[in-house]
Structure 1
Amino acid sequence: MTDLPWGPALLFCPADRPDRYAKALERADAVIIDLEDAVDPGARPAAREALLASGLDPARVIVRVNPAGTLDHVADVQAVRASPYRTVMLAKAERVSDFAALDGLRVIALCETAAGVLAAGDLASTGGVIALMWGAEDLVASLGGTASRHADGSYRSVAVHARSAVLIAAGAWGKAAIDTVHVDIGDLGGLAAEAEDASAVGFAATACIHPGQVDVIRAAYRPSDEEVAFARDLLAAAGEQSGVFRFRGHMVDGPVLRHAETVLRRAGS
């Protein structure tokens, strides 16, 4: 996993609600100001003006821009370049040529269509791309489906496949991966389980849509005191060993040591 310059909780905020910008950034590790799905097309010009008038910390702001090939994309990128913000999330990224207008910006490629998931490796290999994120709802819509989850809240198999494919593509190219939003705002237990799984398999962050989800995500990515103590003891013991060895009933080799190093890195952040 490659780290991001922020903590693990990334909060979406509609770009046409500038009254929420600062509050969202205060609550989360970074804010994603959304010029795409969260904003009615007719309200996007005013939303861009609001973006330009904002005075947020540029280091903790991501701007989601509309898909390449649309007039809104052109206007969005112009607004970003006129602002102090230099990290964008490209909605519905599907091909390397979609990044043509984003030269010099840090890009999070949002793989949320069938074409985007299939192209995840190509997107991750592109210079300027710092991370991949996947999206379940647009993906299923692109397939002609109606629901990404079963009635019990668990993902259907196609969503699980897409999530894994994007994570692996990001990892193969040394880029960070961001897990998608949990749209059931009241289901904090389900969010916690998904964020814990995301942390365990190598996602660097989880996006969210409500401030009440932030602390749940942070807790899921934060190693427990027991995990930190075990990792420290394990790495200390490794300094006195060579090759594979046994530690507290566990076989330890190179990958296990890297797991321990990741635990300590996350604890430190």
Structure 2
Amino acid sequence: MTAFTMGPAILFCPADRPDRYAKALERADAVIIDLEDAVAPGNRAAARAALIEHPQDPERTIVRVNPVGSPDFAADLEALDSTHYRTVMLAKTESAADVDALGGYSVVALCETALGVLNAAQIAAAPHVAALMWGAEDLIASLGGSSSRTEGGSYRDVALHARSQVLLAAGAHGKVAIDSVYLDIADHAGLLAESLDAQSSGFGAKASIHPGQMPMIRQAFTPPPEQVERAVRILAAAEKELGVFAFEGQMVDEPLLRHARRILSRAAGTTFRG
């Protein structure tokens, strides 16, 4: 399996807007060229043609295809075969069998239905799944609901449960977890807070819908200098200690050392290498 190395700021781009492909890559760490929800059904043939005719960097590009069994899935795969893209996001992934339909590709499994969330662990265990993402709005729609968030802007309990389940499934199988999009484009403070929570919880990246959201996501996933310096000091102190030790008033054991190593990894830009 190829390790997922894209992120942390990942931007969706409609496949039928090839004029935006390069601009999106300039702003984001990676781009999801979307053949599914971002494209009207009647325009998907033109979107597939644009995907073929306007190649981008395959090391920084993910192509979202329509769900297995949908009328567009086979046509999406045929178009992919005419490109150099090797990383595919499978919309509405619901089982490991769905992932098997994308043999030969590195798969970002998008768990955005009730069944997909419940099966997240078996999906994450599939060998060519490189990452898992969850989707809030499609999930709530699959349950017959109307909104993933409360009037105060926080996720409803069922959405938080799905978010946690996908994160745990990804972590259990050594895969990267990607956090869902933040729909309120103007709410930079809310996006930053949610991105900080995603990073602190263990997500490796966050997807987004607007290029203006890139700075907040990058800020959240980049450790501040004082955090990096403290991680360096903790790891240096650990080399002189045996077992648990006290450092600047805090007990330090192996989990905290792992946190410190993770901080240095993110600072060096190697978070997403497995």
Distance 2:15 2:114 in 1: 26
The normalised TM-score by structure 1 is: 0.98
Question: Are the counterparts in 1 of residues 55 and 83 from structure 2 also a CA contact under 8 Å?
Answer: no
Distance 1:74 1:134 in 2: 23
Gaps (5+ residues) in structure 2? 270-274
Distance 1:246 1:24 in 2: 46
Matched, 1:134 2:134: yes
Matched, 1:211 2:211: yes
Question: Are the counterparts in 1 of residues 99 and 109 from structure 2 also a CA contact under 8 Å?
Answer: no
Distance 2:4 2:264 in 1: 16
User: Matched residue of 1:4: which SS?
Assistant: coil
Task: Give the paired residue count.
Answer: 268
Deviation at residue 127 of structure 1 after TM alignment: 1.0
Indicate the percent of aligned positions where both proteins have the same amino acid: 61
Distance 2:38 2:6 in 1: 23
Aligned to 2:220: 220
Question: Are the counterparts in 2 of residues 177 and 205 from structure 1 also a CA contact under 8 Å?
Answer: yes
Q: Deviations over 1:112-139 (max 9, x none)?
A: 0000000000000001100000000000
Matched, 1:190 2:222: no
Question: Are the counterparts in 2 of residues 13 and 34 from structure 1 also a CA contact under 8 Å?
Answer: yes
Deviation at residue 55 of structure 1 after TM alignment: 2.2
Deviation at residue 194 of structure 1 after TM alignment: 0.5
Aligned to 1:164: 164
Give me the CA root mean square deviation: 1.0
Aligned to 2:62: 62
The normalised TM-score by structure 2 is: 0.96
Distance 1:177 1:227 in 2: 23
Aligned pairs (5 A) from 1:169-180? 169-180=169-180
- Aligned AA for 1:214? M
User: Matched residue of 1:102: which SS?
Assistant: coil
Runs of 4+ in 1 over 2 A off after TM superposition: none
Distance 1:95 1:249 in 2: 47
Aligned to 2:7: 7
Question: Are the counterparts in 2 of residues 110 and 134 from structure 1 also a CA contact under 8 Å?
Answer: yes
User: Matched residue of 1:62: which SS?
Assistant: strand
Deviation at residue 7 of structure 1 after TM alignment: 2.7
Deviation at residue 78 of structure 1 after TM alignment: 1.2
Aligned to 1:52: 52
User: Matched residue of 2:12: which SS?
Assistant: strand
